[in-house]
Amino acid sequence: MDTITKSSHISYRFKEDVEILENEDTIIATSPCNQLKIAHLSPALRHVLMMLSERACSVQGMNEALITAHEESMLATFYRYLSLLIRCQMVYVYAGREDEQIPLATLIPISPSFQHRWADIQANQSYRMSRFAYVRRDEEGLQYVESPLSHARLRLDCSVAASVLYQLGTAVTPVELAQTLPGEDVDNVISVLTLLVMGNFVFPTTREGRLGEDDDERYMQWDFHDLLFHSRSRMGRHNNMLGGTYRFLHRIPPQPAVKPMSWPVTTPLPRPDMDRLAEVDPGLTAVMEARTSIRDHGERPMTVAQLGEFFYRVARIKEVSHGGNMYDVTKRPYPNGGSCYEIEFYLTIDRCEGLTPGFYWYDPLNHGLSFIQGPNKDTEKLLSDASRGGFDHPQVVITLAARFQRVSWKYESIAYALILKNVGVIYATMYLVATAMDLAPCALGAGDSDLFTKLSGSDYLTETSVGEFLLGSKRVQTP
């Protein structure tokens, strides 16, 4: 196969936010996140590295500069330094002629794990975009190609780059790719393909047009959204801000620690005697050993006293603390990231002694239930959805809904991941309390978030369901 990558159409340049200081045989590169000192440089090596701070330099141009200075033997050293600068996220890689003011596309390393490897594009080899690659628009209107398989992102600076990407939805050779874009310079088209391959967005295919990921069991068992969510809510494959950044401080008021009451409390719930429970409750070991999912509920339903005890032990507000200039927090029985306590509890009651069937919200501050609406086709659908997979018609379905902005106001990149972790903590707490009370608990894997917003009257982007839990009395075992 003929290698057709044009080194004159691949260029490098320091990022705009990198400051370069030159001192005798040393240069010091400083970015907002890194500082790199490269010492004992020959004049030619130092000159070529300094060129990168002034303009985009093609591979061909950098090679010629070193060869002209009779330092051809230093080429390997130069590219080792260049790769180091790229890993430190200080250097861009451009597609297109170096004399063009605007590149066709820009490869931007976003992780120290980025491997700078030259892509030799083969004329008769077919290439195809990974199913994990995607295009998104940022807040400034720029378009990027990203992938959870990549340690870089590719900025689409010109329409030709988007056209190349579109054609790579199917397996295509560079020759065929150029033929589908007859108005474009062939070398420009190949340069965009080169960056896509360098960034792990596009891969060579088999003769049948399949990618390695199509038949690799590791990739086959990852859904696109799961791998993307995993990669973007953990450190390692992006350079996004992550953690408690308080990015909306002084811009948007935080959501209150306690959800404002939308409906009056119609049913104060009984409060258990916690001192007595501390004496008579089974021990932690016994509860953990007995914990199991129980899908069958008893003929006689659970009582409002049991429901009151369950929510008092699981979800009541024990204390409200005012956070001054930051945000107010609460203390509740279960742990929660940042004490955001964004989860609200809604109940769809089919059968519970002492309560009218219907849809309710649990008020954790006053320990009571607010009646939202009576039984209808929507509550019936929620109950029937919960019954799928061999479940009996549940006595009570508890829907966990998140007030998302309560978490995302403080946390960046990990907000939704944190919410799901909080759901897991609540599930564990509800299982242990229900087991101690000799009730039948069972967590569900999925639910209809749009149905929930219809029932609650909430906004999908503001508050909707993230978990479901069944609760009821145990079926009496006959000898």
Mean pLDDT (whole number) for 197-208: 96
Residues paired with residue 43 on neighbouring β-strands, in sequence order: none
* DSSP letters for 412-425: ESSHHHHHHHHHHH
On the question of pLDDT at 97 being above 90, the answer is no
- pLDDT at residue 390, as a whole number: 65
Distances in Å between the alpha carbon of 398 and those of 148, 169, 343, 447, 477?
34, 43, 12, 11, 25
> With bands split at pLDDT 50, 70 and 90, how would you rate the model's confidence at 7?
confident
Query: Rounded distance, CA 307 to CA 355, Å?
Result: 10
CB 269 within 8 A of CB 307: yes
pLDDT band at 110 (very low <50, low <70, confident <90, very high): very high
Q: Where are the beta strands (DSSP E) in 289-395?
A: 319-321, 329-331, 343-349, 358-363, 368-373
Residue 324: pLDDT above 80? no
Task: State if pTM tops 0.85.
Answer: yes
**Predicted local confidence at residue 183, as pLDDT:** 83
Rounded Cα distance, 365 and 317, in Å = 5
Percent of the chain surpassing pLDDT 90: 86
Domain locations along the chain: 7-232, 243-473
Q: CA-CA distance, 49 to 55, in Å (whole number)?
A: 11
Distance CA 202, CA 107 (A): 13
Least confident of 113-127, 333-347, 385-399, 425-439: 385-399
pLDDT number for residue 158: 94
pLDDT at position 322 is: 86
Which range among 5-19, 214-228, 300-314, 370-384 shows the weakest confidence by mean pLDDT? 5-19
Q: How many CA atoms lie within 13 A of 56 on its CB side?
A: 23
User: Could you give the dihedral angle defined by the CA atoms of residues 358, 364, 366 and 370, in that order, rounded to the nearest 10 degrees?
Assistant: -20
Q: Indicate the pLDDT class of residue 327, thresholds 50, 70 and 90.
A: confident
Residue 89 has pLDDT above 80, yes or no: yes
pLDDT over 70 at 469, yes or no = yes
Distances (CA, A) of 90 to 42, 56, 58, 93, 194: 21, 13, 17, 10, 20
pLDDT at 333: 96
| Residue 392 scores a pLDDT above 90 | no
Distance CA 330, CA 333 (A): 10
- pLDDT above 70 covers a percentage of the chain that reads 97
| Cα 227 from Cα 150, distance rounded (Å) | 12
The pLDDT tens digits of the residues spanning 329-383 come to 999 999 999 999 999 999 999 999 999 999 999 999 999 999 999 999 999 999 9
**pLDDT at residue 247 tops 90:** yes
Q: pLDDT, tens digit, for every residue of 267-298?
A: 999 999 999 999 999 999 999 999 999 988 99
How many of the other CB atoms lie within 10 Å of CB of 370?
18
Please state which of the ranges 63-67, 181-185, 196-200, 459-463 shows the lowest mean pLDDT.
Answer: 181-185
* Rg of the chain over all Cα atoms, to the nearest angstrom: 30
Question: Which of 304, 424, 407 is CA-nearest to residue 362?
Answer: 304
Domain at 7-232, CATH from 3.55.50.30, 3.30.420.40, 3.40.50.300, 3.90.930.60: 3.90.930.60
Is the model's pLDDT at 53 over the cut of 80?
yes
Asked whether the predicted pLDDT for residue 166 surpasses 90, the reply is yes
Q: Closest Cα partner for 443 from 288, 291, 341, 272?
A: 291
Half-sphere exposure of 16 (CA within 13 A, CB side): 0
Q: What is the mean pLDDT of the chain?
A: 93
* Banded model confidence at residue 3, pLDDT cuts 50, 70, 90: low
Given this model, what pLDDT does residue 103 score? 94
pLDDT of residue 388: 81
pLDDT, position 208: 92
Contacts of 178 (CB under 8 A, 6+ apart): 184, 186, 189, 190
Helix pair 449-456, 377-387: axis angle to 10 deg: 150
Segment 202-206 mean pLDDT:
96
Q: How far is it between the farthest Cα atoms of the chain?
A: 95
In sequence order, what are the beta bridge partners of 344? 401
What CATH code would you report for 243-473? 3.40.109.10
Cα–Cα dist 461/453, whole Å: 10
Q: Once rounded to an integer, what is the mean pLDDT over residues 197-216?
A: 95
